[in-house]
């Protein structure tokens, strides 16, 4: 990588950012495409988001990704917001405009492409979402838009699940959605579920743990997707594969949401062969830091 006066700057804002794989994704894409740009993580202290956005624009930063805890708060400081991001009230990508940044959400389209890559159907499926944070909101929106038969949202704080339920009903007219306390999972009678794990349970220091431990629950799951990507195989995934069923982690979603952001920034198309290469680079990076 050669950095000079013509190098465009992109980056990630969040807190924390030290763990991020995004520089691997974007700097590798720049190398593959021959683009003169560099991607850097920026740690933004709580309470400094407005100044960070203003400063990035003044410094000619061309685009930013946004991660926790700023995906909703950042919307206050943008020039414009894409329709999809506005629907779920969450932004993870900023594109430079004439007088400010425009906000997009590439989590939904990234999840869609990842699920398609792993041949995970949504249309006509009964979906069980574990958790009610930003990732669950994106997953709920995708499942409603793609024609799921029914959606359950399970969370320890039911009010947060109910907020997503209301968003899905009001925005997409999707009525067959229910909120449950995590402990009420036994009330789900359907089998052959598509389960999407959207909580942080399974991350360090809770490797090997699952947000629901009871084995009876896993008898109902046909396919599982854990949006955690480190460790490579989570406790949630192990409980599903132990029954001979399919389970995947969240690395492909991470890669695809990054690729879609890169396509927005550079107005180029990233082909599947390149996406596969970036995925393998991210896997290698994770192995190096085990």
62, 152: one domain: no
* pLDDT (tens digit per residue) in 276-288: 999 999 999 998 7
* pLDDT (tens digit per residue) in 207-251: 889 999 999 999 999 999 999 999 999 999 999 999 999 999 999
44, 15: one domain: yes
pLDDT above 70: residue 178: yes
56, 113: one domain: no
Q: What does the pLDDT average to over 195-214? A: 91
Q: Residue 78 is encoded by which pair of tokens? A: 């943008």
126, 220: one domain: yes
Residue 2 lies in a domain: no
| Spatial separation of the C-alpha atoms in residues 161 and 206, rounded to whole Å | 23
Helix (H, G, I), strand (E, B) or coil at 50: helix
Q: What is the CATH number of the domain that holds 221?
A: 3.40.50.720
Q: What is the CATH number of the domain that holds 25?
A: 3.40.50.10860
Residue ranges of E strands in the chain: 8-14, 37-43, 63-66, 80-81, 93-96, 101-104, 126-130, 150-155, 177-181, 193-197, 221-226, 246-248
Domain span at residue 168 reads 109-249
Q: What does the pLDDT average to over 66-92? A: 95
245, 261: one domain: no
Residue 1 lies in a domain: no
Closest of 123, 160, 159 to residue 143, by C-alpha: 123
pLDDT above 80: residue 187: yes
For residue 290, the model assigns a pLDDT of 67
144, 231: one domain: yes
Residue 178 lies in a domain: yes
241, 259: one domain: no
Q: What does the pLDDT average to over 7-32? A: 96
Domain count, the chain: 2
pLDDT above 90: residue 204: no
- Overall pTM surpassing 0.75 (yes/no): yes
Catalogue the active-site residues.
71
For residue 113, the model assigns a pLDDT of 97
pLDDT over 70 for what percent of the chain? Answer: 100
Look-up: residue for tokens 């809770």? 206
């Amino acid at each position: 990588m050669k950095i000079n006066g013509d190098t465009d700057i992109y980056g990630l804002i969040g807190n924390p950012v030290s763990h991020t794989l995004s520089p691997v994704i974007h700097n590798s894409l720049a190398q593959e495409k021959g683009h003169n740009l560099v991607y850097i993580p920026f740690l933004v202290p709580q309470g400094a988001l407005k100044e960070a956005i203003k400063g990035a624009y003044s410094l000619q930063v061309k685009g930013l990704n946004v991660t926790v805890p700023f995906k909703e708060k950042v919307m206050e400081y943008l020039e414009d917001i894409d329709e999809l991001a506005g629907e779920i009230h969450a932004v993870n990508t900023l594109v430079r405009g004439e007088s400010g940044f425009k906000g997009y959400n590439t989590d939904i389209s990234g999840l869609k492409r990842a699920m398609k890559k792993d041949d995970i159907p949504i249309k006509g499926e009964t979906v069980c979402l574990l958790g009610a944070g930003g990732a669950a909101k994106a997953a709920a929106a995708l499942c409603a838009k793609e024609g799921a038969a029914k959606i359950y949202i399970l969370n320890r704080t039911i009010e947060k699940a109910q907020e997503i339920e209301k968003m899905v009903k009001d925005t997409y007219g999707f009525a067959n959605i229910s909120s449950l306390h995590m402990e009420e999972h036994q009330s789900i009678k359907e089998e052959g579920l598509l389960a999407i794990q959207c909580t942080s349970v399974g991350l360090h220091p809770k490797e090997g743990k699952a947000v629901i431990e009871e084995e009876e629950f896993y008898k109902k799951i046909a396919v599982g997707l854990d949006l955690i990507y480190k460790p490579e195989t989570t406790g949630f995934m192990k409980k599903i594969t132990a029954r001979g069923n399919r389970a995947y982690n969240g690395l492909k979603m991470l890669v695809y949401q990054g690729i879609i952001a890169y396509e927005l920034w550079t107005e180029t198309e990233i082909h599947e062969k390149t996406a596969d290469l970036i995925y393998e680079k991210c896997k290698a990076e994770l192995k190096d830091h085990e």
